[in-house]
Amino acid sequence: MPLPRCSSMADPAVLSASSRPSSAYRGQRRTELSHAIEFDRVSKFFTLRHERPRSFQEVMLNALRLKSLRRGEQYWILQEVSFVVERAEVLGLIGPNGAGKSSILKLISRIIEPTSGRISVDGRLSALLELGAGFHPDLTGRENVYLNASILGISRQTIRQRFDDIVQFAEMERFIDVPVRHYSSGMYMRLGFSVAVHTDPEILLIDEVLAVGDQAFQGRCLDKIEELVGRGVSILFVSHDMKAVRSLCDRVIWLDAGHIRAEGSAEHVVKAYLGDLSDEELTELVARRGRLSAGRRTGSHEAQITGAVLLDDKGTERYVFESGEALTIRMTYRCQEPIANPVFGLAISRSDGWHVNGPNTRFANCPIDEIRGEGYVDYRIETLPLLGGVYQLTVSIYDYDLQHPYDAYEQILTFVVKNQAIREEFGCVYMPARWEHHALGEES
């Protein structure tokens, strides 16, 4: 059966949202629903309208290119999508850009409405969708806290009681009376997240907006999310950060081109998603992960780690490898003064936090008498024993007694391992072996 067509807004050169009576929603109030959110065969399309020509020359060019000047192109962002979010559940949405993840959050928030299907939301909703959404640029942070709270139906008295906690969590004491038009993206995110989690949400929607925060604040946000889940809050979490998805989400839905490709446990769906990506897409995902989550760094810095790269057996820099390939980890350094008997070390951990190993030059009986100026140290793996997944690399330089860190850089980079040629699915290490069966015969 064809999906229903819908008229669009008249303004050209924009993605125009189709409208539908609000009866497509079953209220934003407590009902007899057993789920916090229900999507029932929801579809949504936009109409892409081209900009109107501004000259006779543009009219002729468009005609030559066979472009329609009056009819827009329909773009289906979701088609027949059905799922539920249980109470006190964290459901993750993953998928490539344009898959429909953010549109689902906007549909739930009623920023846009479905073309067809039914959406049910049962509980007080709070959402973090876009930076600055719900903030008035000419108002101060303080005034915007009260404005956001009133939109969410929270009384001024309640917000007055929680105001100090909101500001303290957001680390905005110095800037709370500054107009928000002067805020950085990180300041927007911190204040918006703090308001959202301090206003008694029953359902919380979180988009990739958390990515703009620094590592320390991201950690506090994730801790707060776990606290909310413990109090019974339902959360729909959209992210490209597979580590956060694995650690937070009870279930995950993989969206692709407006359809659900897979739904199930976080580990199973994330692994299927990563296995489906091309090397180029995986490299972009790794780069995005690196930009979003720079790790903690400590040390006295008499010697500094200036970089780390992964090299294949041809010396080419790569961040997507197959199980069994050769891999070299190269750490570059710079010294302010000569350092005797340094120890170079590294740690590899899986994206869910599982520590794989932590070798160093001292344990390997590879002494380095002294370093001075600049140089590099290689750690060569002849046959990579890791199974498929996303991994983080930590590197360090310590004194010989392993008590004093000159430089320790956590999660300096991320890399992906694929195991298409190895049919192992559980754990993170591949151990070459073979099975043998020996029948002893029947007893007499």
Q: How far apart are alpha carbons 51 and 123 in whole angstroms?
A: 41
Per the CB < 8 A criterion, the answer to whether 231 and 86 are in contact is no
For the chain, domains (ranges, CATH) are 15-287 (3.40.50.300), 293-418 (2.70.50.60)
Conformational region of residue 356, where left means phi above 0, alpha means psi within -120 to 50, and beta covers everything else: alpha
User: Integer distance in angstroms from the first to the last C-alpha of the chain?
Assistant: 67
Radius of gyration of the chain (CA): 26
Per the CB < 8 A criterion, the answer to whether 248 and 89 are in contact is no
> Is this model's pTM higher than 0.75 or not?
no
Instruction: Identify the residue whose tokens are 């015969």.
Output: 441
pLDDT value of position 209: 62
User: Cα-flanking dihedrals φ and ψ of residue 436, to 5°?
Assistant: -135, 140
Per the CB < 8 A criterion, the answer to whether 143 and 164 are in contact is no
Q: How far apart are alpha carbons 444 and 441 in whole angstroms?
A: 9
Mean pLDDT by 10 residues, the chain (444 residues): 32 30 43 75 78 56 49 76 90 87 88 89 79 74 86 81 90 89 82 84 80 66 84 88 80 91 88 75 64 68 92 90 92 94 94 85 95 95 89 93 93 82 78 89 65
In a 13 Å sphere around the CA of 436, the CA atoms on its Cβ side amount to 3
Please give the C-alpha separations between residue 84 and each of 66, 91, 185, 365, 391, in angstroms, as whole numbers.
43, 9, 32, 56, 31
| Nearest C-alpha neighbor of 297 from the set 390, 411, 212 | 411
In a 13 Å sphere around the CA of 78, the CA atoms on its Cβ side amount to 29
SS (H, E, C) 178-244: CEHHHCCHHHHHHHHHHHHHCCCCCEEEECHHHHHCCHHHHHHHHHHHHHHHHCCCEEEEECCCHHH
Q: How far apart are alpha carbons 126 and 107 in whole angstroms?
A: 13
Q: How many CB atoms lie within 10 A of CB 398?
A: 21
Residues 6+ apart with CB under 8 A from 5: 74
Task: With H, G, I as helix, E, B as strand and everything else as coil, classify residue 261.
Answer: strand
Q: How far apart are alpha carbons 212 and 385 in whole angstroms?
A: 34
pLDDT value of position 398: 96
Handedness of CA 212, 217, 223, 229 (dihedral sign): negative
Please give the C-alpha separations between residue 20 and each of 81, 105, 177, 438, in angstroms, as whole numbers.
17, 17, 40, 68
Length of the chain: 444
Instruction: Identify the residue whose tokens are 């924009």.
Output: 14
Per the CB < 8 A criterion, the answer to whether 81 and 44 are in contact is no
Torsion of CA 189, 193, 196, 198, to 10 degrees: -140
Q: How far apart are alpha carbons 76 and 85 in whole angstroms?
A: 23
Conformational region of residue 41, where left means phi above 0, alpha means psi within -120 to 50, and beta covers everything else: left
User: Cα-flanking dihedrals φ and ψ of residue 159, to 5°?
Assistant: -65, -35
For the chain, give me the number of helices (H) and strands (E)? 9, 22
Task: With H, G, I as helix, E, B as strand and everything else as coil, classify residue 108.
Answer: helix
Residue type, 343: V
